[in-house]
Amino acid sequence: MTALALAETADRTDLGAFVARVVRLDATATVRLRAVDGHVTAWATTPFDVLATRTVAGTLEPPDVTAPASALLTALTVVRSEVVDPGPGTLWPAELPPESGWALVDEVPAAEIERLTERGLEVAREHAGPHGLPTSLLDQVVLTVTGGDTTVKVPLRCLFALSGMGFTGGEPDPVRVSATGSWLRLDARYGAVARRRVTSLPLLF
Q: Give the torsion sign (CA, 49, 55, 59, 63).
A: positive
Instruction: Check residue 151 and give its pLDDT.
Output: 94
pTM for the complete prediction? 0.91
Contacts of 81 (CB under 8 A, 6+ apart): none
Of the candidate ranges 36-40, 50-54, 171-175, 182-186, the one whose mean pLDDT is the lowest: 171-175
Of all residues in the chain, the percent with pLDDT exceeding 70 is 93
Residue 205 has pLDDT above 70, yes or no: no
Q: What percent of the chain lies above the pLDDT cut of 90?
A: 80
Contact 120, 126 (CB under 8 A): no
At residue 131 the predicted structure's pLDDT band, cuts being 50, 70 and 90, is low
Alpha-carbon gap, residue 92 to 29, rounded angstroms? 10
Domains of the chain by start residue, with CATH: 3-84 (3.10.150.10), 103-196 (no CATH)
Task: Give the number of residues written for the chain.
Answer: 205
Tell me the pLDDT tens digit for each residue of 13-45: 999 999 999 999 999 999 999 999 999 999 999
Q: Which of 182, 202, 110, 9 is nearest to 194 (CA)?
A: 182
Q: How confident is the model at residue 63 (pLDDT cuts 50, 70, 90)?
A: very high
Q: What is the pLDDT of residues 76-99, one digit of tens each?
A: 999 989 999 999 999 999 899 999
Has residue 136 got a pLDDT over 90?
no
- 3-class secondary-structure state, position 164: helix
Mean pLDDT of 110-138: 84
Question: What pLDDT is recorded for position 200?
Answer: 45
